[in-house]
Amino acid sequence: MLKLIASIGGFCLIFYLYRRKKRSILPLPPGPKGYPIIGNALDMPPSAVWEKYHEWCKELGSDIIYLNLAGKDVIILDSYEAVTELLEKRSSIYSDRPRMPMLGELMGFDFNFGFLPYGDRWRAQRKLMIQVFHKTSTKNLQPHMLKATHDLLRRFVDSPNDIIGNIRHMTGESIIAIAFGLEAQPENDPYIDIAERGNRLVTTVSMPGLFLVDSIPSLMHVPEWMPGAGFKRKAREWRKIAKAMLEIPSSAAKKRIDSGDYLPSFMSYSLSRMDEKGDITQQESLIKATAATMHSAGADSIFAAVTSCIIALLNHPDILKRAQEQIDSVVPFGDLPTFDEEEELPLVTAICMETIRWRDIVPAGIPHMLSKDDVYKGYHLPKGAVVVGNAWTLLHDEEVYPDPFSFKPDRFLQDGKINKSVRDPSDVAFGYGRRICPARLMALSAVWITVASLIAAFDIRQAVDDKGHVIDADPEYDCDTLLRLPKPFKCSMKPRSEKHRKTILATLGHEYHYAL
């Protein structure tokens, strides 16, 4: 055992010295001083890493800095200029993903093409998703979103205190309908449960520097019984969840499609368009992996935006009142909004835009990887470096968004319309360049109809305890994963009128016309 440990240590030292020898004559970007071999690995905070990135950048007076995480080169981009120049304009060499042995090879989440290397399989899965999620096709998904939203409204009538649970169910219901054409059970739905468990693993394990095996892939071959190899035992258990996400919903959807009794979905649409002259097994495998990616990635982003919006409205009743007045001027009192009214409700749109800026969903972004050596501002950027576009900084830039930590939807309005001159936060919130989220239009539409419906139908107020004291609705957020998600909180959700309540309950018999 001692020989094995010594061998691994020796390998790390040789690898470190080899990398130092290959350095360019140009300097690396500035960075915090680290330790030999492990570099800045011990400097990484356990949570809110995006704030630490920005702090380092300010201290060093640079919008681009370098970190060494146990021998892994990491480049942090902390300005819109740097992100645009590298991740957008030079996307041909900045669109790869860092290898994540823990998440992919060991845990089995390599079906998620959001983390795949830039190559043929990534292109194939992305092409499949774009066929359903481009601007025109996204409109065909609106009935799925509308049904999930109406189900959410009824859940709030029946269970007004379960804020987190109700929204979790809604986002899960929407995604499994869109991806697989499956209908969620009212309680304890197995597909929603699988997604929640899997998403938590993905967003946690994908954080840079969390597992040493991601920096030293050869550790994958260390036996489980060896001290320090607990990551392999964890991976073996977590692999079961990845397999369930990949196999269970797809199998159920395939049976429904084969029976002829199914809802139009990504799977039904994609299976119907397979090339009969091609490899059917391979095509079905790609479709299944892409559907599972939707299942993994979609629900949390919509959940985070909707819950953060409720939190914002709880603390800004004046904005809620204005939004309700605008809806009432467009939608008959007591009725529910539809997508047809979106252009006439700019304040609701501005509220949604401000929410994803104010409480950005993926603050540090998903890491990119540089596929060849590059030079920027006189700095050498080495091939294989992990490149992080710090979205949190960009979305809280006071030069673009004055008073950036305050919730102010009016920053996006001018003369009663959306002000196109103010940078749209969705340009940053959903990734960069060729790695931008292909389902972002669907996510934005789902957030809009959910927020518009909640504002139209409910008085959203801070909860009161048994003694009549107002319960502060400013919950903490989980900041130790890739996504920033609010922790459970309480509020009062009551229908604005009896007519609203009856309208909400009447949606149970509504017919939705699905098409893809």
Strands 72-77 and 386-389 come out as: parallel
Structure tokens of 37?
A: 């071999």
Give the C-alpha separation, 316 to 50, whole Å: 27
Residue type, 371: S
Contact 216, 228 (CB under 8 A): no
**Residue 258 CB neighbour total at 10 angstroms:** 10
Give the C-alpha separation, 116 to 207, whole Å: 15
**Residue 239 CB neighbour total at 10 angstroms:** 14
- DSSP element (H, E) containing 327: helix 317-330
CA dist 367 → 38, 69, 217, 287, 384 (Å): 20, 14, 17, 25, 12
- Report DSSP state, residue 361: S
HSE-CB at 497 with a 13 A cutoff on CA atoms is: 11
Apex 174 CA angle, 454 and 354, nearest 5: 45
Going by the annotation, the residues of the binding site are: 437
Contact 178, 185 (CB under 8 A): no
Give the C-alpha separation, 358 to 309, whole Å: 9
Give the C-alpha separation, 182 to 162, whole Å: 24
Residue 4, phi-psi category: left (phi > 0), alpha (psi -120 to 50), beta (remainder): alpha
The DSSP string of 415-463 is: TTEE-TTSPPTHHHHT--GGGS-TTHHHHHHHHHHHHHHHHHHEEEEE-
Structure tokens of 60?
A: 């060093």
Going by the annotation, the residues of the binding site for heme are: 437
Give the C-alpha separation, 31 to 56, whole Å: 7
Structure tokens of 141?
A: 């998904």
Structure tokens of 64?
A: 């681009």
**Radius of gyration for the alpha carbons in the chain, expressed in angstroms and rounded:** 24
Give the C-alpha separation, 15 to 9, whole Å: 10
- DSSP element (H, E) containing 66: strand 64-69
